[in-house]
Structure 1
Amino acid sequence: MPPIVYIVRHGQTAWNAEFRLQGQADTELNALGREQASANGHKLSAQIPDPQGFDFVASPMLRTRQTMELARTAMGLDPTGYRTDPRLVEINFGDWQGFTMAELEARQPGSTHGRFHYKWDFLPPGAGAESYEMLLQRIRPWYEALSAPTVCVTHGGIVRALFRLIGKMPKSEAAALEVPQDRILRLSGDRLEWV
């Protein structure tokens, strides 16, 4: 059975606020995102009174590293005392990165139909693009290697993949899952719950 894991989505960015597909574009937190990150750090302190023995790991992207550092500061910890893992980066949207769905549809009518109707298995155009199923396979080895209590800062796509992988959530539900930026997800055994 895997150890307890607290999973935090990065705080809001300007692209989140504009509903842009961020994917692997290296965006930074906006003011609200910085507040969310610090608030989640305070919530983590309440959940983890003694963080000794916890592994702290983040996606190497700027917005997740900023979130981790603000959260650790709020916990009274050295902000730089964590590691990164490239398997935790967000899904790659290929040529669609940086666009809103409305912009993509305006450029090429009908191009977003597949994403709306078959979101889990949909593969955007462009080199390196991933489907959610491909993302799930990318993070499976990370999940299976968990050996210590962990605090993980990552992305919405990773959280959706975890709900499918661990919670056996149907594809359509996992793909459409809302992943808040101001709450913490706790994984205990094979149980996922928002705290």
Structure 2
Amino acid sequence: MRDHPTIYFIRHGETDWNRDRRYQGQSDVTLNETGRAQARRNGAALRAFLPAIAEAEFIASPLGRTRETMEIVRQSLGLEPLGYRVDPRLLELSYGAWEGTLQDDVATQDPSGFADRKKDPLRWRPKGGESYADLHARVKIWTDTIERDCVVVSHGGVSRCLRVDFLGLDPELIPQLESPQDRVLILQDRTMRWL
């Protein structure tokens, strides 16, 4: 018997803010053409898992970039694009006052926040935002509720938190884990693989 349902996780496709290395967080930024192509690629990659995933639950973060990615993925699978639900627990980490700021500019615009983040990247919170520890707690609440296999479209921070829980990793690693936008992450039976 499996100890947890399988999660097919897709990070939303690229936005202009991703391309420009701008803190995005919970700002509702749309996909660019590269992001739409990444979503089509990920949908095509998942076709190998049909018909099994057609019976899975499809869930997305409520932001437009995740919903558009999900709809492109579902369309690529030959499924009705709107046949999914949203869950606010899958929202990205809130960067608060840092949202919209270029990553290269943070050190000069908020030197004390930049320094504090380097000291404790897991627990540091930007003004008006969340820490990775906050996000981890929120995502854990969601994972404790899933009862069947699911296809999830969410964000890089959520992907990192899921891997820590599924693989039994040290939460201190959350800020360091990679999170590509052009791959599908499969979390199954306490293992992971990229598709």
TM-score, normalised to structure 2, is: 0.93
Three-state SS of the structure 1 residue aligned to 2:187 is strand
Report deviation, 1:74.
Answer: 0.6
Report deviation, 1:35.
Answer: 0.0
Name the amino acid aligned to 2:174. A
Three-state SS of the structure 1 residue aligned to 2:71 is helix
1:41 is aligned, of 40, 43, 60, to 43
1:21 is aligned, of 4, 20, 23, to 23
Report deviation, 1:117.
Answer: 3.5
Identity of aligned residues (%): 39
Name the amino acid aligned to 2:192. L
Q: Kindly indicate whether the alpha-carbon contact (under 8 Å) linking 2:22 and 2:100 is maintained by their aligned counterparts in 1.
A: yes
1:3 aligned residue:
5
2:33 is aligned, of 10, 31, 34, to 31
Report deviation, 1:194.
Answer: 1.6
Q: Kindly indicate whether the alpha-carbon contact (under 8 Å) linking 1:132 and 1:175 is maintained by their aligned counterparts in 2.
A: yes
Q: Kindly indicate whether the alpha-carbon contact (under 8 Å) linking 1:53 and 1:148 is maintained by their aligned counterparts in 2.
A: no
Name the amino acid aligned to 2:70. M
Give the gaps of 5 or more residues in structure 2: none
Report deviation, 1:88.
Answer: 0.2
Report deviation, 1:156.
Answer: 0.1
Q: Deviation string for 1:76-127 (max 9, x for gaps)?
A: 111111100000000011111110232222223343122234211111112x
2:108 aligned residue:
106
TM-score, normalised to structure 1, is: 0.93
- For residues 154-193 of structure 1, the aligned pairs below 5 Å read 154-193=154-193
Q: CA, structure 1 residues 118+14, in 2 after alignment: closer, same or farther (shift >3 Å)?
A: same
Q: CA, structure 1 residues 108+52, in 2 after alignment: closer, same or farther (shift >3 Å)?
A: closer
Distance 1:53 1:9 in 2: 21
Q: Kindly indicate whether the alpha-carbon contact (under 8 Å) linking 1:36 and 1:182 is maintained by their aligned counterparts in 2.
A: yes
Stretch moving more, 168-177 or 137-146: 168-177
Give the gaps of 5 or more residues in structure 1: none
2:68 is aligned, of 57, 66, 69, to 66
Stretch moving more, 1-10 or 46-55: 46-55
1:91 is aligned, of 85, 93, 98, to 93
Distance 1:29 1:11 in 2: 6
Three-state SS of the structure 1 residue aligned to 2:18 is helix
* Aligned residues: CA RMSD: 1.4
Report deviation, 1:172.
Answer: 4.0
Distance 1:97 1:23 in 2: 6
Three-state SS of the structure 2 residue aligned to 1:52 is helix
Report deviation, 1:46.
Answer: 1.3
Higher helix share: 2
Distance 1:194 1:86 in 2: 25
Name the amino acid aligned to 1:22. Q
1:130 aligned residue:
130
Q: Kindly indicate whether the alpha-carbon contact (under 8 Å) linking 1:60 and 1:85 is maintained by their aligned counterparts in 2.
A: yes
Name the amino acid aligned to 2:80. D
